[in-house]
Amino acid sequence: MKECKICYDKTKTIRDKKKSFIYYRCLSCGFVYLDDTQMVDSVNEKKQYELHNNSFESLGYVKMFEDFIEEAIAPYKQNIKTALDFGCGPGPVLAELLRRKGVEVDQYDLYFSPKKVYEGKKYDLITSTEVFEHLQKPIEVLEILVKHINDNGYIILMTKFPPKDDITFLNWWYRRDVTHISFFTPKSFEIMAEKVGLKMIKTINDNIVVLQKVC
């Protein structure tokens, strides 16, 4: 039996018999993850990302980020002057929308903006949208982000929370992207936050979590 990567408790196995995928769901915090041996390699992962139409030409994509800013960032705008868009992708729409609102924004992406511009810097806000579902070691990544956030600053993440029912999970559209390997519940985010010195302020809808570095 595998242990949970978040809280280290016991898991149960979920098998996708059609594609021979194996997932593990934590019996405590609800975190679901793909077996490490079945994860896609970096070459094919990048190819999958390149298929996405993540640009200002995609009106739906732009609207998603406009809503994200309004719902998750705007309530704290008076405290946000600098930001890092961590995992900006090939078309950094969110970064540009924030710049238009007067925020100074840096961009980083493993494949498309690989220079670690955040080194030696701290920010009032770090966004990471549609990134954490791709991570094999999410706590390690969150630890990196915490090092680059100012006291009382915010880390705001976007990723879909998984269905609680196994059959529904196996039929879930979000799982079908082969690069999506980690699926978090609000409880699993709360545990991760506590481990790295953050406080979970709130969740929004079924896909946004707001964390704060509280002194």
- Quote the CA–CA distance of 87 and 94 in Å, as a whole number: 11
Residue 157: its pLDDT value, please?
98
Locus of tokens 């990544």:
141
Residue 53: its pLDDT value, please?
62
For residue 72, what pLDDT band results from cuts at 50, 70 and 90? very high
Q: Which of 72, 182, 57 is nearest to 126 (CA)?
A: 72
Locus of tokens 């699926």:
183
Q: Is residue 74 part of a domain?
A: yes
- Quote the CA–CA distance of 63 and 164 in Å, as a whole number: 28
Q: Is-contact 208 68, C-beta < 8 A?
A: yes
- Quote the CA–CA distance of 190 and 206 in Å, as a whole number: 15
Q: Which domain holds residue 96?
A: 11-212
Split into its structural domains, the chain has a count of 1
8-61 per-position pLDDT tens digit: 999 999 999 888 899 999 999 999 999 999 998 888 888 877 766 677 778 888
> Quick one: which H or E segment has residue 105?
strand 104-108
- Cβ-count burial 36-67 (b if 16+ within 10 Å, e if not): eeebbeeeebeeebeeeebeeeeeebbebbee
Q: Is residue 40 part of a domain?
A: yes
Q: Is residue 2 part of a domain?
A: no
Q: Is residue 133 part of a domain?
A: yes
Mean pLDDT of the chain: 94
The CATH number of the domain where 159 resides is what?
Answer: 3.40.50.150
91-143 per-position pLDDT tens digit: 889 999 999 999 999 999 999 999 999 999 999 999 999 999 999 999 999 99
Residue 205: its pLDDT value, please?
96
Of 89 and 105, the structure prediction assigns the larger pLDDT to: 105
Residue 68: its pLDDT value, please?
97
132-175 per-position pLDDT tens digit: 999 999 999 999 999 999 999 999 999 999 999 999 999 999 99
Q: Which of 203, 212, 187 is nearest to 80 (CA)?
A: 212
